[in-house]
Structure 1
Amino acid sequence: MERRNFIKNSALAGAGLLTSTGVMASGFGFNSGSADALKIAYIGCGGRGARAVKAALDLDIPTELVSMCDLFKDKIDHREKVLLNNVKDKSRIKVTEDTKFTGFQGYKEAIALADVVFITTPAAFKPKILEESIKQNKHVFMEKPVCVDSVGFKQVMAAAALAKQKKLFVAGGLQRRYSTGYQAVVNELHDGAIGDILSAECYWMGGPIGDLTRPRKEHWTEMEFQNRHWRSFSWVSGGNVEEYHVHNLDIVNWVLQEAHPQSVLAMGGKSPGKDFSGSLGGFDSLTSNFKYKNGVSVHSYSRNIPNCKNKNGEYFYGTKGKCIIAGNATIYNHKGKEIFKASSKEHGKFHGAHDMVQKTLMESIYHGKEYFNDGFYAAQSSMTGAFGRMSGWSGKEMKWDKAIESQVALFNYTDATDMNSTPPILPDEFGNYPVPTPGKTVVM
C-alpha cells in the first residue's frame, strides 16, 4: 500500500471514517508537505530522544523532523544543533522557530504537525502525551519507562487499546525485545531448554542516575529546578527501578510469558547523600520478591549508589538447567554443561538494539507492514517496577489486582500545570526532601 494512503487508512479505519468507496476527505493521520515523508514530532529533548530521532532521520525511507517540544527552550535549541551536526541529511530537519514549542502544554501543537510522535519525556508526563497522540491519530514511539504509578498505567493501557482499535503503531523503548541475542535465548527458554522455570533473579546495580551538583539559578521556581534535575526526583522519573531496572523486569515478564507478577513484597532505602541520588522523594535501593503464576519466585535487585559493586543481568533456574544473561547469554543443563550460547559477537550488543526500534517502527508504517503495538507490555513492565516501589515504600505486601486500582498518583499532570505549579515534594528548611517511611507512607 502506498505510504500516504496507509497512514491515512490506519487512522481512519479505527475512527470509523472509512466507507466502501474509500477514504473520506479528512486530514487525520497525514500532514501534507514533502511528498511521502514521514513527519516526526520530537517531544522531550534529551539525549535518548536525540538518538532515536537521528536513527529515524538516517533511514533510507523519507523522514522529516517537523516539530520539537520541551519544557525548556534551551534544551530544544541544544538538541537541534546536536542533530544538525550528526544526521546524514541535514535537509530532513524542517524545524523552524514557529514549530518549537515549550512548557507543559506545548506538546499538543507539536503533535498536530506530525505523522509519528517520539515521546521521550520523563516518565511522569508520558501517559498524558500518549493519550493526546492517539487522540490526534498519530503513530508513536515512546521511550521507557512509560508510567510511574497505577494512575498512569491505566491511562497508558487505555491509550494503547485505542491505538489498537485505530491501528496506530506504538513502539516502546524496551529495546532488549528488539535484540537478536535476546530473541534467540528467549526462544530457547520458551522451547523448554531449561524445563519449567521455577525461579529467577534480576539485577541492575550501577552508579548514580541523578546529579544535583549543578547550581540552582535564582530565577528558577522549585518546579523548574526539579524538572531540570528530573532524574534526581522519583515523582518525575519513577526512581532508579523505573529508569533502569525496568529493562530487567521486562525480560522476566517476557521469559515467563506473563504480563505481570501476581504479588510482591519489597524493602529498600535511601542513602544520606543527595547530590548523586536518583531518588529524592524515594529510595535508591530496592529489593523485591515477586511471585508469578504457578508459584514462580523472582528476586529483583535495584541499586544506584557510587562506589558499590555493579551487576546487571537476568538469571533463570528450571527443572532441567539454568540460563545466565549478562552481556552474553548461556544456557546450562542440570549437570552444568553448556548447551546454548548467544554472544554479542554473533548477535550484536544485547543491550544496544535502540536503533532497531525506530527502524522497525518507521519502516512498518511506511511500507504498511504487519501491525504491532508495544504499548501493552511497556505499560505492564513499567508498572511491575512501580508495583515493587509501592511495596517498598509502604512496607506492605501488595497484590497486583489491588495495586493497579490505587488512585495515589506521584504527580497530577493537568492542562493547568506550569512552572509556577507546586511540585509534589518540597524541601525542608535545610534543603532536605522527604523520604518514604515504610509502615507510614500511603500508596493505596
Structure 2
Amino acid sequence: MKKTTKLSRRDFVHTALGAGVALSAPTILGATAKGQGKTFKIGLIGCGGRGRGAAAGALEAGKILGFNVRVVATADYFKDRAVRAGKQLDVPPERCFGGASCYRDLLETDVEIVLMATAPLFRPLHLEAAVNAGKHVFIEKPVAVDPPGCRRVIAAGREAEKKGLVITAGTEMRHDWDHIKTHQAVAVEKSLGKLYAGRVSFCIGHMFWSRPINPKSAEDLVRSWQNWIALSGDHLVEQHVHNIDLANWFCGGHPVSAVGFGGRPRRPAGDMYDFFSVDYDYGEGVHIHSMCRQVNGCWNWVGHDFVYEKGHTNGNDHPKPQKSPIPASLPQGPSSHIQEQIDTLYYINKGRPVNQARAVAESTATAIMGRISAYTGWQVTWNQIMAAADESPDLFNLTLKPTAEDFEKGTVEIPKENVVPVPGQK
C-alpha cells in the first residue's frame, strides 16, 4: 500500500476541529463496504489539545473504516472546556460534564468507547471506572505517575480481558506500520541477530510555563499539570515514555533495574527536573541509555537507535519482515495518531479484544523507575517497585500526593514550587 503523507497531531487537530470536524470526503483510504451502517458512540474525558486530537482522530478513523462514529458526551475538570469541545463536536450542553467527578457522569451515559486524555494522575482511577462500566477504552500515555498507579492499570487490564473489552494506548509507535514491521523483522524474526545495546532520546527545548506558577488551589494545579511531578510524573514519564516504550518493545519486556541522574538548573515553574540520564539494564548484558531534556539552547534529538549483531536500526527503517503481523483487512491511516484510533475501532468491530494496558503500564513503570533513581541516586529494581512488596515497601507503595481521589474529596495539598528532589538524601 502506498504510504500517505504524515500529519502532525497539532496540524490535524486544527484542520479537523477548525472545520467543525467536517473532514474531507471521500476519505483518505476510502470506506470499507463492510463498515457501512456501523455506529459507535464515543465519550471524551479530558478536553484539552490532546483529548480533542483523539476525538478528531476517532472521527476520521470512522470515516476511513466506513463507520458512523459520533462523540456524544464530553467531560473535563473544567466544565467550560467540556462545553467548548462539545460545541466543536456537536455535543449538547447537557451531555458536557465538569468537575473532579465528571468522568462518573460521562460513564453513566450510553457511550461505548471512552477516550481518556486527562492529566496522567487521573488515568488509573478513570480506567478502573470505565472498565467497571463495561466501556472500551483508548487511554493516552503515560497511564500513571507512581508504581501503585501502574499496578492499578494492569489490574484494570486483566478485568477488561475478562469482559472482552478493547484497551488501546497512545504509545503511538506501536500503531505505526514501519515500526511494527521493523519490530517483526529484527525483534521477532531476528534478522539482525542478537540485540547488544541501544539508546533512546527526547531532548528538546523548554516547554510550558516560563515563570513561577504560584498555585493557590486545586484548579491552579490542574491548569498547569504539565509542570508538577504528582500530576504529570515529570517529563521523563509524561513525554519520554514514547521512546522508553519502544525500548521495552524491542527488548521484549521491561528492564530489571535502572541507575540515573538528573537536575534542574533553569526551570522556573513547578517542581520537575530539566533533564534526566538513565541506564536501563535489560539483563543478559543488554543496556539501553535513556536521555531527555527540556532546556533551550542545547543540542536536540528525539529518536532511538538499537545495535544488533549484524547492524543497527532506528526502529522503523527495516520494514521488510518475512511475515507481516498487520491484518490484511486493516486500513492504513495518514499518521500514527489516527492509526491508533483506526486500530481501536477495527478491533472492537472484529470482536478481538486487543489489550495494551499491561504494555503501556510497564513502559510507564519503566520511566518511573528511572525517575526514582535520578531523584534518589539509588539503583532501583523492577522488583522493588512492581513485583516484590516486601523487598522495598517504601518504593513499592510510593504514592505521589495529591492523589486523584484527593481532587474528588477536596483534600488537595498544594506542593511547594521550586522544591525538588535532591539525590543522596533520605
Supply the AA of the counterpart residue of 1:181. D
Partner of 1:296: 286
Partner of 1:391: 373
User: Deviation at 1:77?
Assistant: 2.8
- Secondary structure, in 3 states, of the residue corresponding to 1:359? helix
Structure 1 contact 204–302 (Cα < 8 Å) conserved: yes
Aligned pairs for 1:168-187 within 5 A: 168-187=165-184
Partner of 1:206: 204
Partner of 2:224: 229
> What TM-score, normalized by structure 2, do the two folds share?
0.80
User: Deviation at 1:322?
Assistant: 1.8
Structure 1 contact 107–129 (Cα < 8 Å) conserved: yes
- What is the CA deviation profile of residues 124-175 of structure 1, one whole-angstrom value per residue up to 9, with x for unaligned ones? 1000000000011111000111111101001101000100111110010001
- Secondary structure, in 3 states, of the residue corresponding to 2:70? strand
Structure 2 contact 178–318 (Cα < 8 Å) conserved: no
- Secondary structure, in 3 states, of the residue corresponding to 1:293? coil
Tell me the distance in 2 between the aligned counterparts of 1:378 and 1:362. 19
1:284 to 253, 274, 281: 274
Tell me the distance in 2 between the aligned counterparts of 1:195 and 1:353. 28
Partner of 1:193: 191
Tell me the distance in 2 between the aligned counterparts of 1:121 and 1:152. 14
Aligned pairs for 1:94-133 within 5 A: 95-113=91-109, 114-133=111-130
- What is the CA deviation profile of residues 323-362 of structure 1, one whole-angstrom value per residue up to 9, with x for unaligned ones? 234xx6369xxxxxxx9xxxxxxxxx99940111111111
Size of the alignment, in residue pairs?
367
Structure 1 stretches of 4+ moved >4 Å: 212-216
Tell me the distance in 2 between the aligned counterparts of 1:323 and 1:362. 31
Tell me the distance in 2 between the aligned counterparts of 1:410 and 1:215. 20
Supply the AA of the counterpart residue of 1:302. C
Structure 2 contact 86–92 (Cα < 8 Å) conserved: no
Tell me the distance in 1 between the aligned counterparts of 2:275 and 2:212. 23
User: Deviation at 1:418?
Assistant: 4.4
- Secondary structure, in 3 states, of the residue corresponding to 2:284? helix
Supply the AA of the counterpart residue of 2:95. T
Structure number with larger C-alpha Rg: 1
Q: Percent identity?
A: 27
Supply the AA of the counterpart residue of 1:65. V
- Identify if the C-alpha distance between structure 1 residues 419 and 131 changes in structure 2 by more than 3 Å, giving closer, same or farther: closer
Task: Provide the aligned C-alpha RMSD in A.
Answer: 2.6
Tell me the distance in 1 between the aligned counterparts of 2:228 and 2:181. 36
Structure 2 contact 138–170 (Cα < 8 Å) conserved: yes
1:65 aligns with 2:71: yes
User: Deviation at 1:185?
Assistant: 1.6
Supply the AA of the counterpart residue of 1:226. L
- Identify if the C-alpha distance between structure 1 residues 124 and 416 changes in structure 2 by more than 3 Å, giving closer, same or farther: closer
Structure 2 contact 83–93 (Cα < 8 Å) conserved: no
Partner of 1:42: 44
Tell me the distance in 2 between the aligned counterparts of 1:36 and 1:313. 38
Greater shift in the superposed pair: 95-104 or 284-293 = 95-104
Tell me the distance in 2 between the aligned counterparts of 1:391 and 1:351. 38
Tell me the distance in 2 between the aligned counterparts of 1:200 and 1:57. 37
Tell me the distance in 2 between the aligned counterparts of 1:268 and 1:215. 22
- Identify if the C-alpha distance between structure 1 residues 146 and 224 changes in structure 2 by more than 3 Å, giving closer, same or farther: same
- Secondary structure, in 3 states, of the residue corresponding to 2:196? strand
Unpaired runs of at least 5, structure 1: 1-34, 85-92, 332-338, 340-348, 428-432
Supply the AA of the counterpart residue of 2:138. F
User: Deviation at 1:67?
Assistant: 1.2
- What is the CA deviation profile of residues 206-247 of structure 1, one whole-angstrom value per residue up to 9, with x for unaligned ones? 12232255987xxx8432112111111121111111122111
User: Deviation at 1:314?
Assistant: 1.0
Supply the AA of the counterpart residue of 2:401. F
- Secondary structure, in 3 states, of the residue corresponding to 1:168? coil
Aligned pairs for 1:246-325 within 5 A: 246-258=241-253, 260-275=254-269, 280-325=270-315
Partner of 1:411: 401
Structure 1 contact 142–171 (Cα < 8 Å) conserved: yes
Structure 2 contact 217–414 (Cα < 8 Å) conserved: no
User: Deviation at 1:292?
Assistant: 0.7
Tell me the distance in 2 between the aligned counterparts of 1:247 and 1:52. 16
User: Deviation at 1:413?
Assistant: 3.1
Unpaired runs of at least 5, structure 2: 1-36, 322-331, 390-395
User: Deviation at 1:194?
Assistant: 2.3
Tell me the distance in 1 between the aligned counterparts of 2:406 and 2:120. 19
- Secondary structure, in 3 states, of the residue corresponding to 1:357? helix
Partner of 1:153: 150
Tell me the distance in 2 between the aligned counterparts of 1:368 and 1:225. 43
1:357 aligns with 2:354: no
- What is the CA deviation profile of residues 368-397 of structure 1, one whole-angstrom value per residue up to 9, with x for unaligned ones? 342210111010111111110011111110
